[in-house]
Chain A
Amino acid sequence: MTSIGECGLMFSSIEGARSEIDLAALVETHSAVLFRVAHSVLRSRTDAEDVVQDVFVRVLEHRANLPAVREMRVWLVRIAWNLALDRRRRVRPEQMDEEFAGELVARDVPADEAMADVRRMTAVLRQIERLPRDERQVLLLSTTEELETAEVARVMGKSESAVRALLFRARKRLRERMERGVRT
């Protein structure tokens, strides 16, 4: 798999020469992480896949700017994040959250217990959406296992220590709100 450094090297090497851009390799290398980022926002596999395609269409449209991109994965994750947020505003997120929570419930538990679990996990997802913007972003990006703290920091334009602090606060706030049973 191509590392970020290798990608940066490839694009810096074509800067002057306008030679070929291996877009298929970009798709192959980064689509999985972009899917996870989009899915963390949308909680829908089909919508997340649509976002991944939209990301690469954007790349195609802005290929003239690619030589200036040094950290390809960070740049792509930013695009995916923003596209996913845009899409989430257009769809009905509550319905997606319920479906996603329903998929997580164990099949061998009684129906009433399963319904209670679905409600609880839907509440978790709802409370995640109500976190302050930066805390929500760092919490969801940190669930993308391919992204290390340093990369999350660069995606958000913050320092690593700030990201760690935000993550700690996000988890604490989420736990407190769940315990209080905040409802709207």
Chain B
Amino acid sequence: MPLGIERAAAYVPRTSVQGRRSAAADEDGFTMAATALERLGDGGSPPGPSPRLLVAGELPPSADADLPRFLGVPVTVERVGSGIESVRTALSAVAVAPEPPPPILFVAVDRGSGGPNDSDAAVALRCTADGALPVDRVVAELEGKGPPSAGPLLRFGTGRAAAEPSRWVGDFAPGAVHPVAPTPRETPLVPNAPVSQGAYVPRPRYLEGVGAHWRFEGERCDACGAIGFPPRGRCRSCGATDRLRPMPLPRDGGMVVAATTIGPGGQPTELDEQVERSGPYGVVLVDLVPGVRVTLPVADSSAALAIGRRVGTRLRRLYPMEGEWRYGRKAVPLE
């Protein structure tokens, strides 16, 4: 039974460097893939048991473990390489999946070649038996395209999928160019200064908090109706512990209720390097829904966000800790 593309989504960074859409310093292949998957809808969380997640392109090795954490459901990650050939092979394999075909997620990240008109981009596809756009047509379309993985797929998507019953969304908005100083293509993962333990959260506790930090997963109390965030396993309102269930909170559309800009000297030590490189940064308090508030850094290269503004949120890199990047959501202007 052939699979079709049910939904497609792209993520192209807003930052423009000499006409090329370039990821910001706090983005990497993982955050770009996560953002594209998120845009498939419902946070990209696929229903059903153990769906496959095919991964192509330039994602850090840690993404193999972090992508299932981000989706919040058990998925089997399969790396299918980075070249267009491997993408085509992978999609061909999808097209002839055995019956009954489970849903398959596909995500590709292209960090571009650095040349003009070769932007950083991420593409996510959700393939099911009900998908309206046959995968083999996509494969045929990709024949003879150049080497980068997501680029041709993205161009295919923008030119083609818009006319199909699939959704295509992205940050790419022609004319909306935000010129900034060129950022390093990759920020090196440097160990913290030996004394920097400012936001030290031990790794097991960091991983425990991924649902709240990466997906804004709160808890709703069926006893009294209160929403708790972050979830603590006890209703803040009535104290119940046995009638709580996970409740996803909206990742976009929250309102800024307080805003500050941290100048040099006001930052915790783990952000010293970032401040040295990028200067002051914003932090906002955002009401996701009435009564549920979260503290968020403003994403790199975003303009200051004032009280009263509606904002979106994105997964971004925060700072290095224990030899790895720590990730969390940051606020971005809502389009």
Q: Do A and B come from one complex?
A: no
Residues of chain B touching chain A, judged by Cβ–Cβ distance below 8 Å, are: none
